[in-house]
Amino acid sequence: MRKRITPAVLTIILCIGMLAGCGSRLSVDESTVFVQKDGSIVSVDVEEFDSASYDEQGLRDYVEQTVAEYNDQNGANQVKLKQLSVKDGKAELSLEYATAADYRKLNGIDFFAGTLAEALAAGYSFDADFASVKDGAPVVSCAAGEFINDSSYKVVIIKGNTNVQVKGKIAYVSTVNTKLLDSSTVSIREGISLFDSASDTQMVENSQAVSTETTGTEAVFDTQLEESEGSVSEDDLLEASTEEESGPVFQFDEDSNSGQEKDSEFSQIYTYIIYQ
């Protein structure tokens, strides 16, 4: 039976920079799965690491042993350790997988990457609410029938709470538990909705615009307002409300993932990302 690094050992943290894919440097704010053009997958996770309670060399030995055992059973170089470091109380891990199937098997997360025809042949039903996407923003709700027969599209399907970045532009995405970060990246978290998150972003932008306009008006009329000491500004409240605290943990397990907690890396529904 495979060992696992549990949340008790490593607690998720955010705001990281990492190495992924052909030696290129990618900067993201949250743990992310990168789907490459050649079908390979790169995953990056960063966790808090208590060096007083756990041994850095022990962590490296565990990861290297897990990768070696997987390759022994599934073929040489199916999974490669790209980076593992512990610094300032943080452990950073980057793995490269030859195929989406390797990512799925090693992590125990339902995951698919390929063409729409291959997804349908694999049994995925696309039974979800979708929205069309343009320039990294949702446009309008739609049904799967709008794109399902178009052979030019690729798709990523996952049951997991993480960010997913594709090599291309997203054209459609399922709306439950999703938020568009840009034209190629989706954030998947329990309890959010695509159109709600888009609306929230617009509200913040509108609020900032109103604030700027008000400041200009006050300058024209030479209005003087005093703020009480220790008060919290509107911008501070907006910034605090947008902080996120969840993400995947380092876990390698081929056993069943049933019974996972809501804020774990597992999800109860499929997220569909259709792109070109």
> Using CB atoms within 10 A of its CB, is residue 258 exposed (0-12), middle (13-18) or buried (19+)?
exposed
Per-residue pLDDT of the chain in tens (276 residues, 90 and over written 9): 344 444 333 333 222 333 333 334 444 457 889 999 999 999 988 777 887 777 888 988 999 999 999 999 999 999 999 998 888 787 778 999 999 999 999 999 999 999 999 999 999 999 999 999 999 999 999 999 999 999 999 999 999 999 999 999 999 999 999 999 999 999 999 999 999 877 654 433 443 443 444 444 444 334 343 444 444 444 443 444 444 444 334 565 544 444 444 455 678 899 999 999
Rounded to whole angstroms, the Cα distance separating 124 from 111 reads 11
Evaluate whether the domain defined by 1-108 bears CATH number 3.30.70: no
> What is the reported pLDDT for 265?
67
Using DSSP, state whether 219 is helix, strand or coil. Answer: helix
> What is the reported pLDDT for 11?
33
> What is the reported pLDDT for 88?
79
Pairing of strands 41-48, 266-275: unpaired
Domain borders along the chain are 1-108, 113-211+264-276
> What is the reported pLDDT for 253?
55
Kind and range of the H or E element at 47?
strand 41-48
* Distance in angstroms between the alpha carbons of the first and the last residue of the chain: 39
> What is the reported pLDDT for 49?
82
What six digits make up the tokens of 265? 């890396």
> What is the reported pLDDT for 89?
81
> Using CB atoms within 10 A of its CB, is residue 173 exposed (0-12), middle (13-18) or buried (19+)?
buried
